[in-house]
Amino acid sequence: MDVNKLRALLTEIQAGRVDVDQALHQLRDLPYDDIGYAQLDYHRSLRQGIPEVVFCQGKTTEQVTGILERLWQRHDRVLATRASAETATAVQAQLPQARYNSTSRLITLARTELPPPDESMPYALIVSGGTSDMPVAEEAAQTLEFLGSRVERAYDVGVAGVHRLLDKRERIFGADVIISVAGMEGALTSIVGGLAACPVIGVPTSVGYGASFNGLAALLSMLNSCATGVAVVNIDNGFGAGQYAHLILHRIQQGHQQ
C-alpha cells in the first residue's frame, strides 16, 4: 500500500472534500505488493468482493507459504487451491490455523466463521456424473461455502443411470444456479440444462478413458450443448465455477435485500 497516497486521501476525507464513496472508489486502484516472485493484489476484495486466491500448483512450498503469510496479514479469510498434501503440511507448519481438505485440495484460513446460510437464501446445486468427479465437484462446493453461499449436492447422478438425476428434479427446479461436473462424454450438463430454469455452469473433468483426451471430449460436448442457459469453464476448474456461481447468488441476494 502506498502510504503517502493513503495519507493524502485520509486528509481529504477529514477536510470534507472527499466523501466515503469517493474514497472507496480511489482505494480500488491503490498499488499491489511486489514480493519478488509474486505481486499481491490486496485490494481485489474492494473491486470484486473476494480477496485474491492462491493457485498452488506449479509453485514451490516456500512460495505458497510466503504468499499465504502475506495475505493472512491483510485479510481475515484466505483461500488457496490445488494444494498437494506436502504443500499443505508446509503451510500448516508456518500457519497452524490453516485447514486442508484432501478431496478438494483447498487450504483455508479464517479468523471468524461465517454464519450458516439460511434456508431461505438462494442456493447452488452441485451435480456430478460419477464419484470420480467428486474432487472437482468438492472444489466448487467448498469454494462456494467458504465464500458464504448456500450449497446442495447431488453426486453420482450421471447419464448411465439417468433416473438417479430425475429423482433430484425438485432440487434442480428449485436451484438458483447449478454446477454440472462430468467427465467421459460430458452429457450430464446438456440434460441438466434441458431441465433447469436457472443458469447452468458446466465443468468438464479429465476423468475418462483414452479417447476422452483428459477432458477435451467433455469440454467440446458441453461447449456444443443444444441446451440453453449453459456456460462452460475450463477442464477441472471447480474453483472457477464456484466463484462464478457465488457472484450469481450474491447478486440475487442483494436484489432480495433491496
Per-residue model confidence as pLDDT tens digits over 197-212? 999 999 999 999 999 9
Q: Cell numbers of 202, please? A: 458446466
Question: Does residue 196 surpass a pLDDT of 90?
Answer: yes
Residue 6 has what pLDDT?
Answer: 66
- β-strands 39-40, 33-34: how paired? antiparallel
- The CATH number for 152's domain is 3.40.50.1970
Together in a domain, 78 and 25: no
Confirm whether 118 is domain-assigned.
no
Together in a domain, 27 and 53: no
Confirm whether 115 is domain-assigned.
no
Instruction: In whole angstroms, give the CA distance from residue 6 to residue 231.
Output: 40
Confirm whether 207 is domain-assigned.
yes
Tell me if 98 sits within 8 A of 109, measured CB to CB. Answer: yes
**Last residue of some domain: 110, 135, 170?**
110
Amino acid at 232: V
Confirm whether 129 is domain-assigned.
yes
Confirm whether 14 is domain-assigned.
yes
Together in a domain, 27 and 46: no
Together in a domain, 104 and 197: no
Say what the pTM is: 0.86
Which domain, by its residues, includes 212?
A: 123-257
Instruction: In whole angstroms, give the CA distance from residue 204 to residue 64.
Output: 27
- Angle between the 188-195 and 216-223 helix axes, to the nearest 10 degrees? 30
| Distances in whole angstroms, Cα of residue 198 to Cα of each of 10, 36, 127, 227 | 44, 43, 14, 12
Residue 4 has what pLDDT?
Answer: 58
Residue 257 has what pLDDT?
Answer: 66
Residue 154 has what pLDDT?
Answer: 96
Confirm whether 48 is domain-assigned.
yes
Residue 29 has what pLDDT?
Answer: 55
**Last residue of some domain: 59, 76, 110?**
110
Residue 155 has what pLDDT?
Answer: 96
Instruction: In whole angstroms, give the CA distance from residue 106 to residue 142.
Output: 8
pLDDT above 90 covers a percentage of the chain that reads 68
Question: Does residue 68 surpass a pLDDT of 90?
Answer: yes
Phi and psi angles of residue 106, each rounded to the nearest 5 degrees, phi first: -100, 140
Together in a domain, 88 and 178: no
Together in a domain, 4 and 86: no
Together in a domain, 134 and 93: no
Tell me if 176 sits within 8 A of 252, measured CB to CB. Answer: yes
Instruction: In whole angstroms, give the CA distance from residue 258 to residue 248.
Output: 16
Together in a domain, 138 and 104: no
Confirm whether 116 is domain-assigned.
no
Strand, helix or coil for residue 49: coil
Confirm whether 19 is domain-assigned.
yes
Together in a domain, 67 and 135: no
Together in a domain, 132 and 47: no
- β-strands 77-81, 106-110: how paired? antiparallel
Residue 240 has what pLDDT?
Answer: 96
Instruction: In whole angstroms, give the CA distance from residue 188 to residue 207.
Output: 14
Together in a domain, 131 and 253: yes
Instruction: In whole angstroms, give the CA distance from residue 9 to residue 162.
Output: 59
Together in a domain, 99 and 190: no
Instruction: In whole angstroms, give the CA distance from residue 255 to residue 191.
Output: 29
Domain count, the chain: 3
pLDDT band at 2 (very low <50, low <70, confident <90, very high): very low
